Amino acid sequence: MARPRQLKLGAFLMAPGHHVAAWRHPGAQADLGADFRGYAAIARQAEAAKLDLLFVDDVLAVKDTRPATGKRSARSAFFEPLTLMAGLAAVTERIGLTATVSTTFHEPYNLARKFASLDLISAGRAAWNLVTSNTEAEAQNFSDLPHLRHADRYQRAEEFIDVVIGLWNSFDDDAFAHDRTSGVYYDPAKLHVLAHRGRHFAVRGPLNVRRSPQGHPVIVQAGSSEPGKELAARTAEIVFTAQQTLADAQAFYNDLKSRVARHGRAPDELLVMPGIFPVVGRSRQEAQDKFEALQALIDPAVGIQLLSDMIGGFDLSAYPPDGPVPDLPETNGGKSRQHLLFELARRDGLTIIELARRIAGARGHWQVVGTAQDIADQIEERFTKGGADGFNIMPPTLPAGLTDFIDLVLPELRRRGLFRIDYEGATLRENLGLPRPTRRGTDQAQAAE
Ligand SMILES: Cc1cc2nc3c(=O)[nH]c(=O)nc-3n(C[C@H](O)[C@H](O)[C@H](O)COP(=O)(O)O)c2cc1C
């Protein structure tokens, strides 16, 4: 019998909370970015709540790229995602482990190997959020060349992911015999040489890591530009996205599902999980008070610094904060978020400091402040009206903001039959309802020597 369609929910862990001033709030652990035990406690809490996955983002640089009066948000230093997820694999059993790694600053072979290892270590719970990286600050940590152009980054990523999937398919699932009698450890006919030669990479293979119980890691993408959506439609199984309104969410959802079909894939092979920044109270007033308490902690210079980074790396501190958001050229950064922020400023006639305060928590994602019923109502509407297959929860503070969602909103979603009581399976794919991939990608007929 088909499973009832239920929400897929991830916990987007940005230490010590998504709000730019979270670290100054008593509900946040200010040094979480350097405390594995703090992350482990949060991971176990999320797993006990039966959430689908944990997700950590990544930028290959100190995120606050401009010192602002010596005050910073807490995004200056944080764990490398794959390393963190390998540690969390050892303290959890069922929750998915999603790490962000950039195709622009890695090579396919070692990235395929690390994720395949995480997938085996976690018994089939790994997921890779593929990004191409948006900032010059990152490019400067790898060479003195300028950052690749946006279109070139995605062209490289298209080839990169095909090589990684081809490498993940090096050994067939039943390649290993471990036959002590005959002395045959694995069947060489079930080991495949990739022999990839392309514009960006020449990778012979095979990969020296086996497939996992879920085949290979789940592929996640968060692009929203034309090349970003095409890459996602061809290869991704989860897409993260920032959508302000139900109409925007429906348009993005329909666009992506139609693109998936054009790539010969079934629409339910790709789950659309927009971000939600929930501020939950036992009353609307309590929720509003919680939000205002966070907003009151925003240092204007830090808020404008975050906006500068999000709007494409322009230094808005050079403009009057009470003045309009200036017309700025399209940058080589992420296209869709810059566009979303300009639209928001124009639509609501926001000054620089007003826009900075507006995005200080959710950074352009969907922000909902209210009771558990209010938030569940809005989640249910987007889920049932074709705006999402699930959501990436962005707790304002960690751990308190996640605790609020788990203790207050999840029971309301379960009461409505919208979220699981227990995990359906052992692997991330089983719990997401995604097919276990058979071997695909380029491979050579002959076995490896
Ligand atoms: C939920 C979410 C998480 C993201 N995490 C990262 C990240 O960790 N690192 C990164 O470089 N970009 C991240 N991005 C940015 C995307 O990779 C992408 O660059 C951005 O959405 C703009 O789309 P475009 O690249 O197609 O222009 C994230 C985007 C979203 C919506």
Domain-terminating residue out of 334, 359, 384? 359
Domain shared by 140 and 216, yes or no: yes
Q: Is residue 266 part of a domain?
A: yes
Domain shared by 224 and 306, yes or no: no
- Residue 338 confidence (pLDDT): 85
Protein residue closest via CA to atom 14 of ligand 1: 222
Domain shared by 342 and 397, yes or no: no
Choose which residue among 84, 102, 134 to substitute to test ligand 1 binding: the one with the highest number of ligand atoms within 8 A of its C-beta.
134
- 118 alpha-carbon distance from chain centroid: 17
What residues contact 318, with CB distance under 8 A and at least 6 apart?
none
Lowest mean pLDDT among 158-172, 219-233, 249-263, 337-351: 337-351
Quote the number of domains for the chain.
2
- Give percent of the chain with pLDDT exceeding 90: 84
Helix (H, G, I), strand (E, B) or coil at 279: strand
Q: Is residue 167 part of a domain?
A: yes
- Residue 446 confidence (pLDDT): 37
Domain region containing 350 = 299-359
pLDDT at 335 over 80: no
pLDDT at 414 over 70: yes
- Residue 2 confidence (pLDDT): 65
Domain shared by 194 and 249, yes or no: yes
Domain shared by 272 and 355, yes or no: no
Confidence of residue 63 (pLDDT cuts 50, 70, 90): confident
Average pLDDT over every residue of 312-318: 87
Q: Is residue 437 part of a domain?
A: no
Domain shared by 64 and 25, yes or no: yes
Ligand 1 site residues (CB inside 6 A) read 57-59, 100, 131, 133-134, 222-225, 228, 240-242, 275, 334-337, 392
Domain-terminating residue out of 321, 344, 359? 359
Give the pair of three-digit tokens for residue 433: 């309802």
pTM, two decimal places? 0.95
Ligand 1 centroid from CA 56, angstroms: 12
Q: Is residue 441 part of a domain?
A: no
Domain shared by 185 and 308, yes or no: no
Q: Is residue 447 part of a domain?
A: no
Average pLDDT over every residue of 61-83: 77
Indicate the residue type of 162: D
Domain shared by 20 and 156, yes or no: yes
Domain shared by 180 and 207, yes or no: yes
Protein residue closest via CA to atom 31 of ligand 1: 241
Is the bond preceding residue 67 a cis peptide, omega within 30 degrees? no
Domain shared by 203 and 237, yes or no: yes
Q: Is residue 101 part of a domain?
A: yes
Ligand 1 centroid from CA 98, angstroms: 14
pLDDT at 395 over 60: yes
- Residue 313 confidence (pLDDT): 81
pLDDT at 443 over 60: no
pLDDT at 254 over 60: yes
pLDDT at 164 over 70: yes
pLDDT at 336 over 90: no
Ligand 1 centroid from CA 22, angstroms: 21
Instruction: Look up the CATH number of the domain holding residue 417.
Output: 3.20.20.30
Q: CA separation (Å) from 169 to 70, 211, 215, 232? A: 49, 7, 8, 20
Average pLDDT over every residue of 369-398: 98
Ligand 1 centroid from CA 334, angstroms: 7
Choose which residue among 100, 141, 252 to substitute to test ligand 1 binding: the one with the highest number of ligand atoms within 8 A of its C-beta.
100
Q: Find, among 393, 305, 405, the residue nearest to 357 by Cα.
A: 305
Mean pLDDT of the chain: 93
Ligand 1 centroid from CA 414, angstroms: 30
- Residue 66 confidence (pLDDT): 61
Residue found under tokens 């990436």: 392
Residue found under tokens 């380029």: 442
Q: Is residue 22 part of a domain?
A: yes
- Residue 77 confidence (pLDDT): 87
Choose which residue among 9, 129, 131, 240 to substitute to test ligand 1 binding: the one with the highest number of ligand atoms within 8 A of its C-beta.
131
Ligand 1 centroid from CA 239, angstroms: 10
Q: Is residue 351 part of a domain?
A: yes
Average pLDDT over every residue of 301-326: 91
Domain-terminating residue out of 359, 374, 400? 359
Domain shared by 415 and 318, yes or no: no
Element at 228 (helix H, strand E): helix 226-235
Q: Is the dihedral of CA 431, 435, 440, 445 positive or negative?
A: positive
Domain shared by 216 and 260, yes or no: yes
Ligand 1 centroid from CA 222, angstroms: 5
- Residue 337 confidence (pLDDT): 83
ipTM for the whole predicted complex goes beyond 0.85: yes
- Residue 439 confidence (pLDDT): 65
Q: Find, among 385, 399, 388, the residue nearest to 365 by Cα.
A: 388
Confidence of residue 1 (pLDDT cuts 50, 70, 90): low
CA distance 432 to 400: 26
